[in-house]
C-alpha cells in the first residue's frame, strides 16, 4: 500500500511540478523578455495587470477547481454519471463567464479598467494595451486551466504537463516574434500568451481519443443543474476567496508601493512577484497533487492513504522552500539584472526586497497548503477562514507600515503571515477542529 501511494504521489507531483515549472518559467521569462525588448516600465505594466490575471484565475478556482475535487470524489466512488455531470456543468459555466468578461472588460471598458489599476501616466499606455488583450483572450485562460484540472483528475497528469510545457514554449517564442519582428510592442506579449493557451487546449483535447478516458465526457442532462452548480461553487469557494483576496492584495499593494516608493519601488515589487512565481511552482504542484490524489483517497474512505499523501506533501514543500530561500539570499543581484535593470537605485532596492520576501513567502506556502488539508478533511469553516485571512491580513499591515515605517515596508508580508499563523493555531484549538475523515 505504501509503495503504491508513494508511486502515485510522485507520479502526480512530478507531472504537476512540470506544469507549474513551465508556467513559472513562462511568466518569469516573459517578464525578462519584456524588460529587455521594451523597458523596465513594461515589466511594471505586466505586474500592474496581474490583478486581472488573478481575477480570471479566481473564476477558474471557483468553478473548475471545486468541480475537479467533486469529480475526483465521484471517480473514487466509481460514480461516473456524477463525474460527467460535474465536468460538463463546470465547463459550460466557466466558459460562459469568460465570454462575458471578455465583452465587458475587453470590448466595452478597456480604458476604465487600465486607469483603475494604473495611476502612473508613464506606465498607463503600456498597461492598457497589455490588459485589453488579456481580457479579450481570457476564455482561453479559463479553458486551459479547466481542462488541465479535469484531464489530471481523469488519470492523465503527464498529458497536462506536456500541454502546459508546449503552451509556454509557444508563448515565449511568439513573444519574440510579436514584439520584435511584428513590432506589436507589449500587446504582442499578451497576444502570445493567448495563442499559447489555445495550442495547449488543442493538446488536452487529445485526451479523449482513448476510449478508456471517455468515462469522463459531456453529459447534457439538465436535471439537478442548479444543485450541481451550488455544490461546485461551494466546493471551490475557499480557493476562490483566497484568490479574490490575493487579487485585492495585488491591487492594494501595487497602489501603496507606487505611492510610497514610486517607480523604484514598483519595479522592485514586480521582481518580487516573479519570485512568488517560483514559490507558487512548489505550492501549485503540491496542492494540485493533494486535490487530485488526496480527494481520491477521501472518496475511497482511505484515511491512512490520505495521511501518507499529506506527509509526502509537507516534506516536499519544506525542502523546496529552504533551497529557494538560500538561492535568493546568495544571488539577489543576478536575479534582478535578469529583468533588464541597470540603474543602481533599482538594483539596490530590488536586492533588499528579494531577500525579505524570500523569507516572507515561506509561511504563506505552509498556510496555503494547510487550507487544502482542512478542505480535504471537511473542515470547511477553517478553510474559509484561511482563504479570507491569507491575503486580507496583509493589506492593513501594509497600509500601517507605509504610513508609519515606510523604510520597513517590505517586511509587511512577513509580519502579516506570522499573525495569520498564530490566529489559525488559536482558532483550531478553540474550536476543537479535528483532522479526521467524516468531520
CA distance 226 to 311: 37
What does the domain layout of the chain look like in residue ranges? Answer: 2-430
pLDDT over 90 at 103, yes or no: yes
pLDDT at position 22 is 58
CA distance 418 to 142: 33
pLDDT over 90 at 419, yes or no: yes
Q: Greater confidence, 84 or 302?
A: 84
Sole residue written with cell 529583468 = 339
pLDDT at position 28 is 63
- What value does the mean pLDDT take over residues 248-274? 81
pLDDT over 90 at 100, yes or no: yes
pLDDT at position 19 is 63
Q: How many CA atoms lie within 13 A of 191 on its CB side?
A: 14
pLDDT at position 423 is 92
- pLDDT (tens digit, 9 = 90+) per residue, 298-351? 877 778 888 888 888 899 889 988 998 898 888 888 877 877 667 787 788 888
Average pLDDT for the chain: 83
pLDDT over 90 at 198, yes or no: yes
The model's confidence at residue 213, banded by pLDDT at 50, 70 and 90, is: confident
39-74 b/e (C-beta count within 10 Å ≥ 16 → b): bbbbbbbbbbbbbbbbbbbbbbbbbbbbbbbbbbbb
- pLDDT (tens digit, 9 = 90+) per residue, 4-63? 777 777 777 777 776 666 555 556 666 777 777 777 777 777 777 777 877 787 788 788
- What value does the mean pLDDT take over residues 98-116? 88
CA distance 304 to 437: 10
- What value does the mean pLDDT take over residues 388-393? 78
- pLDDT (tens digit, 9 = 90+) per residue, 154-196? 878 789 888 888 888 888 888 888 888 888 888 888 898 899 9
Q: Greater confidence, 275 or 180?
A: 180
pLDDT at position 26 is 55
Amino acid at each position: 500500500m505504501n509503495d503504491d501511494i508513494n508511486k502515485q504521489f510522485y507520479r502526480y507531483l512530478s507531472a504537476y511540478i512540470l506544469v507549474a515549472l513551465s508556467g513559472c518559467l513562462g511568466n518569469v521569462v516573459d517578464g525578462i523578455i519584456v524588460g529587455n525588448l521594451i523597458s523596465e516600465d513594461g515589466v511594471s505594466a505586466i505586474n500592474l495587470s496581474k490583478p486581472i490575471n488573478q481575477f480570471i484565475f479566481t473564476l477558474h478556482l471557483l468553478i473548475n477547481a471545486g468541480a475537479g475535487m467533486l469529480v475526483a470524489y465521484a471517480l473514487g466512488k466509481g460514480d461516473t454519471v456524477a463525474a460527467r455531470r460535474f465536468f460538463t456543468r463546470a465547463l459550460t459555466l466557466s466558459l460562459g463567464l469568460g465570454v462575458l468578461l471578455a465583452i465587458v472588460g475587453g470590448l466595452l471598458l478597456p480604458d476604465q479598467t487600465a486607469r483603475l489599476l494604473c495611476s502612473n501616466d508613464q506606465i498607463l499606455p503600456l498597461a492598457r494595451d497589455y490588459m485589453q488583450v488579456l481580457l479579450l483572450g481570457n476564455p482561453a485562460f479559463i479553458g486551459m486551466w479547466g481542462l488541465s484540472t479535469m484531464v489530471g483528475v481523469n488519470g492523465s497528469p503527464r498529458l497536462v504537463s506536456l500541454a502546459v510545457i508546449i503552451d509556454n514554449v509557444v508563448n515565449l517564442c511568439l513573444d519574440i516574434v510579436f514584439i520584435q519582428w511584428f513590432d506589436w510592442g507589449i500587446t504582442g506579449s499578451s497576444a502570445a500568451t493567448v495563442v499559447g493557451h489555445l495550442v495547449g487546449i488543442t493538446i488536452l483535447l487529445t485526451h479523449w481519443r482513448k476510449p478508456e478516458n471517455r468515462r469522463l465526457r459531456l453529459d447534457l442532462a439538465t436535471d439537478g443543474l442548479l444543485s450541481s452548480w451550488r455544490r461546485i461553487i461551494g466546493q471551490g469557494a475557499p480557493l476562490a476567496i483566497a484568490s479574490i483576496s490575493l487579487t485585492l492584495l495585488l491591487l492594494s499593494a501595487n497602489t501603496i508601493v507606487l505611492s510610497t516608493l514610486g517607480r523604484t519601488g514598483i519595479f522592485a515589487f514586480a521582481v518580487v512577484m516573479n519570485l512568488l512565481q517560483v514559490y507558487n511552482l512548489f505550492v501549485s504542484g503540491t496542492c494540485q497533487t493533494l486535490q487530485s490524489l488526496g480527494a481520491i483517497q477521501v472518496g475511497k474512505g482511505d484515511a491512512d492513504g490520505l495521511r501518507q499523501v499529506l506527509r509526502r506533501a509537507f516534506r516536499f514543500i519544506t525542502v523546496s522552500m529552504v533551497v529557494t530561500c538560500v538561492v535568493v539570499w546568495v544571488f539577489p543581484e543576478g536575479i534582478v539584472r535578469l529583468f533588464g535593470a541597470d540603474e543602481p537605485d533599482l538594483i539596490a532596492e530590488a536586492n533588499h526586497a528579494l531577500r525579505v520576501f524570500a523569507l516572507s513567502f515561506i509561511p504563506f506556502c505552509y498556510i496555503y497548503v494547510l487550507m487544502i488539508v482542512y478542505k480535504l478533511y471537511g473542515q470547511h469553516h477553517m478553510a474559509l477562514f484561511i482563504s479570507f485571512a491569507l491575503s486580507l491580513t496583509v493589506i492593513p499591515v501594509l497600509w500601517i507600515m507605509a504610513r508609519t515605517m515606510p523604510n520597513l515596508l517590505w517586511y509587511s508580508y512577513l509580519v502579516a503571515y506570522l499573525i495569520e499563523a498564530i490566529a489559525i493555531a488559536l482558532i483550531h484549538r478553540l474550536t476543537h477542529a479535528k483532522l479526521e475523515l467524516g468531520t
